[in-house]
């Protein structure tokens, strides 16, 4: 079987490790889940870094997602939900986790009218922001244009309180429907979340199912113009030539992580094919065949250098998967 190819699972087959046998046995008990084995991690993240993910599951319905998660929890098997893979760093080598993608079971969108000028968008967590904005332009929903250029899914954007200097998810979020760490379904209002800079303030271990966003009605051409303007600004200030995970470090209070890294002399610093971008110092780019080890060594060196020069400890924005 070719790596990454979807195939039916039959009891008694083995993909080479005990944990994979457990997964094979498990997925036979869950319907409406597409499974791939030994998938290159580089296909699952925008950094294009990592080894092989043993198992990738794509539930087709919300019910099959819930059943899968409950079964994994009962069996004590490791799993991780990944959105667009734009803010994660996968391990090198074979990774014995089941990666779950929500791009088939959580992509619906509904508009709920509030009055003649405004309403609420209820959006599945697996929908990409790029597609969400295309729908906003088509239907004349304004208020989310600042999300242009953020390569995330709705769920990932909520978890990270994604945003730019022009706004953040928390500014327009009304409620989140989620599964808590016990896999009990809950609906949480924005006022109940302690959202902050690059933090959604969600309960520990929460899985986002859908989110409600406050929008207004507007002219499609004006919305398209705003989106184009934000995209133009991003292209002028961000490195687009090489794969990356976006900003690697959070900005310290009142400071710019990129400026600190630049002033410490790390623009262009490189280990293997992992390089601090000469365009934006808070971005590490993959110049070809960077490994996770390369990226982590760049991160370690940059953090040490900034701490020595300025006495500032840079906090990671990128999620390092273990």
CA nearest to 208, candidates 152, 135, 133, 149: 152
CA nearest to 176, candidates 128, 227, 212: 212
Q: From the candidates 198, 270, 287, 319, which is the catalytic residue?
A: 198
Does residue 58 have an active-site annotation? no
Cβ neighbours of 186 (radius 10 Å): 14
CA nearest to 159, candidates 245, 42, 81, 46: 81
Q: From the candidates 24, 62, 275, 317, which is the catalytic residue?
A: 317
Does residue 36 have an active-site annotation? no
The residues facing 79 across adjacent strands are 98
Q: From the candidates 62, 145, 247, 275, which is the catalytic residue?
A: 247
Residue written as token pair 């794509």: 58
Q: Report the distance separating Cα 39 and Cα 37, nearest Å.
A: 6
Q: Angle formed by the axes of helices 18-27 and 62-75, to 10°?
A: 140
Does residue 247 have an active-site annotation? yes
Catalytic residues, which ones? Answer: 198, 247, 317
């Amino acid at each position: 079987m070719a790596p990454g190819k979807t195939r039916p699972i039959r009891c008694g087959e083995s993909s080479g490790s005990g944990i994979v046998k457990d997964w094979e046995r498990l997925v036979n008990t869950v319907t409406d889940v597409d499974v791939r084995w030994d998938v290159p991690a580089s296909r699952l993240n925008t950094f294009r870094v990592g080894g092989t993910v043993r198992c990738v599951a794509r539930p087709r319905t919300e019910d099959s997602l819930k059943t899968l998660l409950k079964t994994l929890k009962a069996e004590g098997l490791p799993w991780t939900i990944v959105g667009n893979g734009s803010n994660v760093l996968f391990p090198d080598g074979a990774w014995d986790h089941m990666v779950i993608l929500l791009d088939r079971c959580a992509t619906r969108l509904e508009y709920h009218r509030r009055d003649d000028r405004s309403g609420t968008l209820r959006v599945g967590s697996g929908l990409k922001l790029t597609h969400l904005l295309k729908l906003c332009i088509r239907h004349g929903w304004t208020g989310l244009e600042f999300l242009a250029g953020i390569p995330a899914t709705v769920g990932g954007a909520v978890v990270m309180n994604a945003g730019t200097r022009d706004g953040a998810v928390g500014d327009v979020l009304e409620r989140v429907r989620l599964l808590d760490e016990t896999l009990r379904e809950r609906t949480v209002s924005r006022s109940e979340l302690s959202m902050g800079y690059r933090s959604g303030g969600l309960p520990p271990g929460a899985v986002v199912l859908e989110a409600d966003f406050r929008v207004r009605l507007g002219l499609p051409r004006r919305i398209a113009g705003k989106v184009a303007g934000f995209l133009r600004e991003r292209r002028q200030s961000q490195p687009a030539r090489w794969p990356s995970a976006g900003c690697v470090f959070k900005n310290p209070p009142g400071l710019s992580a990129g400026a600190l890294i630049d002033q410490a002399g790390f623009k262009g610093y490189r280990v293997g094919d992992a390089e601090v971008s000469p365009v934006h110092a808070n971005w590490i780019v993959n110049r070809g065949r960077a490994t996770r080890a390369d990226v982590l060594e760049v991160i370690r060196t940059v953090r040490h250098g900034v701490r020595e020069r300025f006495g500032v400890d840079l906090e990671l924005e990128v999620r390092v998967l273990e």
